[in-house]
Amino acid sequence: MTEQPPESTSLTPEEWDAVRRLRERAGNPVTAPAPDAAAQPDAVAAGTAEPLEPVAPPPPPEQTAPPVQPDLTSPVPTETTAPIAEAPKWGGERRPASRGAPVAVPALAALVVLAVVAAVLAVLLSMRVSHNHEKNQAATAALSAATTGVASVLSYNYKSLDADFAKAEALLTPSFRKSYQATTAKAVQPLAAKYKAVSTAQVSAAGIIVASTSAAKVLVFVSQQVTNTQLSAPRLDRSRIEVELLHTHGQWLINKLTPV
C-alpha cells in the first residue's frame, strides 16, 4: 500500500520527493504523490499519466575509519642494524680483527730473520772457534817440531855421523834436505871424522813468530857445546835461529834455518 499525501497538503513534486527521502531514511518509505490535475490536465484527462517510480534513497555516507592517533606513550622504534661480530681477544685485550693479520705478518717475518741471523752467527762463531782451535794446535805442533828439529840438525858425533845425518834429514823438507846434505858432505863430515868432533845442541827457549795451519816461523835460542882435538876445553856457542817450517804429509818439517 502506497502512502498518499494528505489532501490538505499542497506540495510540489520536488518538495514531496524531499519529504519522501527523509521518511525513507527514517524507515518509513512513502510513494510519490499523484500529480496535480491542474498541473497535468492533459495527462489526467487522457488517462495516460504513468505513476511515478519511487526514487531510490541516496547511499549512506561512506564510512571512513577514524584517523589513527599516534601513541605518544609507546617508545619510538629505532633503526636496527645487524649485530657487529665481536673481535677475538688475545691476552685479555680486544684487538681489531682487520689489523690482526698485518701485525702478525711483520712479527713473523722479524722472528724468521732473527732466527736466520742467529743461526748464521752461531755457524760463524763455531767456525771461528774451530779455526782458532786448529790454529793453536798447529802453532803448538810447529813449536815442538822446531825445538826438536834444530837440536837434531846441530847435533852429531864423529862416531855415528851417517846415522846422525840421516836422523836430521828425516826432519827436513825435500828442498832443504838437498842443501843440508851438500853442507854436511863437504864441510862437516870430513872435519868431524878427522878431529873427532862432537856437537851437542839444546834449545833453551823458543817462541812462535807467525803460524797457520800450513806454515809457521819460530825463533829458537840454541846452546851448542862443541868438542874436538883442536880445542883444549869444550866450547859453548849460543845463537838465535829463525826456523821456517811447512806442514807436509801430516807433519811439520824444517824448510829453512836463518841465524839472526
> What is the average per-residue pLDDT within 57-81?
53
Q: How far apart are CA 245 and CA 256, in angstroms?
A: 7
Share of the chain above pLDDT 70, in %: 63
Q: How far apart are CA 181 and CA 188, in angstroms?
A: 10
pLDDT at residue 192 above 70?
A: yes
Q: What pLDDT does residue 194 have? A: 94
pLDDT at residue 72 above 60?
A: no
Classify each residue of 58-86 as buried b or exposed e, where b means 16 or more C-beta atoms within 10 Å of its C-beta: eeeeeeeeeeeeeeeeeeeeeeeeeeeee
The CATH number of residue 202's host domain is 3.10.450.230
Q: For residue range 109-161, list pLDDT tens digits in order.
A: 888 888 888 888 877 777 666 667 788 999 999 999 999 999 999 999 999 99
Nearest to 25 by CA among 54, 59, 52, 64: 59
Q: How far apart are CA 49 and CA 56, in angstroms?
A: 21
Range of the domain at 248: 138-259
pLDDT at residue 215 above 90?
A: yes
Q: What pLDDT does residue 99 have? A: 56
- Whether the pTM exceeds 0.75: the reply is no
Residue 208, in any domain of the structure: yes
Q: Of 8-12, 132-136, 139-143, 238-242, where does mean pLDDT reach its minimum?
A: 8-12
Residue 21, in any domain of the structure: no
Residue 20, in any domain of the structure: no
Show Cβ contacts of residue 88 under 8 Å, excluding neighbours closer than 6 positions.
95, 97, 100
Query: φ and ψ at 237, to 5 degrees?
Result: -110, 135
Q: Of 7-21, 63-77, 124-138, 192-206, where does mean pLDDT reach its minimum?
A: 63-77
Q: How far apart are CA 119 and CA 108, in angstroms?
A: 16
> What is the average per-residue pLDDT within 207-222?
96
Taking a C-beta distance cutoff of 8 angstroms, is the pair 255, 175 a contact?
A: yes
Show Cβ contacts of residue 13 under 8 Å, excluding neighbours closer than 6 positions.
32, 33, 35, 52
Query: φ and ψ at 98, to 5 degrees?
Result: -70, -20
pLDDT at residue 242 above 60?
A: yes
pLDDT at residue 64 above 70?
A: no
pLDDT at residue 24 above 60?
A: yes
Q: For residue range 178-188, list pLDDT tens digits in order.
A: 999 999 999 89
> What is the average per-residue pLDDT within 199-203?
97
Q: What pLDDT does residue 62 have? A: 55
> What is the average per-residue pLDDT within 224-238?
95
Residue 37 or 238, more confident = 238
Q: What pLDDT does residue 116 have? A: 82
Residue 69, in any domain of the structure: no
Residue 84, in any domain of the structure: no
Residue 105, in any domain of the structure: no
Q: What pLDDT does residue 22 have? A: 74
Residue 23, in any domain of the structure: no
Q: What pLDDT does residue 42 have? A: 47
Query: φ and ψ at 74, to 5 degrees?
Result: -85, 145
Q: For residue range 78-109, list pLDDT tens digits in order.
A: 555 555 555 555 555 555 555 555 557 778 88
Total domains present in the chain: 1
Residue 54, in any domain of the structure: no
The grid coordinates listed for 217 are 816461523
Burial class (CB in 10 A: 0-12, 13-18, 19+), 220: buried
The backbone region for 196, taken as left when phi is positive above 0, alpha when psi lies in -120 to 50, beta otherwise, is: left
